Amino acid sequence: MALDAVINSKNLLDMALERLRKSLAREPLNPRSCIDSPEDWAAAARLALYIAAATKNPYLLKRFADSESKRFLELMRKVPGIQDLRCKIEIARDLGVVAKPAHEVVTGIVVATFGNPVAVRWTSYLRYAPQDPFWAMINRPVVKGWVVVPLEDFERLLEEAYEEQILKTARENELAVGRVAASIDASLVEDLLKKYAHKPLKAPSQPAEGPHPPCMKAILDALKSGDNLPHTARFAIATYLLHRGWDVEQIVDLFRTSPDFNEKITRYQVQHIAGQVGGRKEYAVPSCETMNSWGLCPTNLGCGVKNPVQYGRKVTVKKSN
Ligand code: SF4
């Protein structure tokens, strides 16, 4: 369907705005209209993406893409017609993920242990695996360049690939996004921008102990850009900022830029790290060794400290000498 026809259709525009609103709020969609009129459904989904991109707010766009990819994962796991592994591998191919049933590259214990595993080409694996120690390739069976993963991890990789595909579609259709921006009344998305657009970080104006170390600065920069950070990075920055004197609410506000932000869960997790709930144990800032093993040390242990909390003082002392 031509873009102008979609923009000028009140029905499709309403559908697109509803989809955008529900995705940003992480609410379920009514699948009825997909079954009744799949063409309209697809056109409205594309228009919703263009509207998200037209806001020029990268955080809002990322949140939309994140939510849509989670919905995609749910469908992958639930829709009866695509539960055959071959079908999922076809979908993977459309998303640029090279994969095949694991028994085609390996037999025996690995296949038996994982039940219904999939072999993913290492290049695809590295591209889409979350930045998390659990996903480190060193912790996975690798056979002749194929990484063997259980089905649910394979589906998770496809979720990442799907999210990237959404963002790529927005990037590659700048003209269409521009047309949407010029045609649609900005007030229609004003409330969404107010609610979901990136909020500036609240940070203490005067750091208590000198500058942040490169590892923590990198995490803070990633948060400012609305990146979806691995759990290890979230844990590290929370422990570090608590050590610097931030309170729980300031840290919760910091995480508002995460595409999968959930206020209740985040507050509980930060309180847990601060030792205010759960086992009442306050967690220490991970050592540089640990940060490095998590892939979070950009200097490869080059700061001359054993723990990131020592960095600020070290730089301050050096300057005053
Ligand atoms: S050496 Fe330590 S303080 Fe420096 S970047 Fe690495 S983890 Fe951070």
pLDDT at 121 > cutoff 90: yes
Least confident of 5-9, 83-87, 228-232: 5-9
Does ligand 1 have an atom closer than 6 angstroms to the CB of 214? yes
Average pLDDT over residues 204-228: 81
Ligand 1 centroid – CA 296 distance (Å): 8
| CA gap 221, 237 in Å, rounded | 11
Which of 303, 284, 283, 301 has its CA nearest to residue 292?
301
Residue 87 annotated as binding site: no
Local structure of 99: helix, strand or coil? strand
Q: Whose CA is nearest to atom 2 of ligand 1?
A: 288
Confidence bin at 32 (pLDDT 50/70/90): low
154: nearest Cα among 120, 121, 131: 120
| Residue 288 assigned to a binding site | yes
Residue 215 CA to ligand 1 center (angstroms) comes to 5
CA angle 17, 19, 21 (to 5 degrees): 65
Provide mean pLDDT across the span 214-243: 91
Ligand 1 and 298: CB distance under 6 A: yes
**Residue 320 confidence (pLDDT):** 66
Structure tokens given for 273? 């790290």
Centroid of ligand 1 to alpha carbon of 142 (angstroms): 30
SS3 of 142, please?
strand
Radius of gyration of the chain (CA): 22
Asked whether 291 lines ligand 1 (CB < 6 A), one says yes
Q: What is the pLDDT of residues 46-99, one digit of tens each?
A: 999 999 999 988 888 988 998 899 889 988 888 887 888 889 999 999 999 999
220 or 138, higher pLDDT: 220
Question: CA nearest 71: which of 26, 18, 130?
Answer: 26
Whether 297 has a binding-site annotation, put simply, is: yes
**3-class DSSP state for residue 101?**
strand
Mutation pick for ligand 1 pocket among 240, 297, 315 (CB with most ligand atoms within 8 Å): 297
Helix or strand holding residue 6 (H, E): helix 3-8
Distance (Å, rounded) from C-alpha 1 to C-alpha 291?
50
| 149-187 pLDDT, tens digit each | 999 899 999 998 999 999 999 999 999 999 988 888 888
CA nearest ligand 1 atom 4, residue: 303
Q: Cα–Cα distance between 20 and 67 in angstroms, integer?
A: 10
Residue 166 φ then ψ, to 5°:
-65, -45
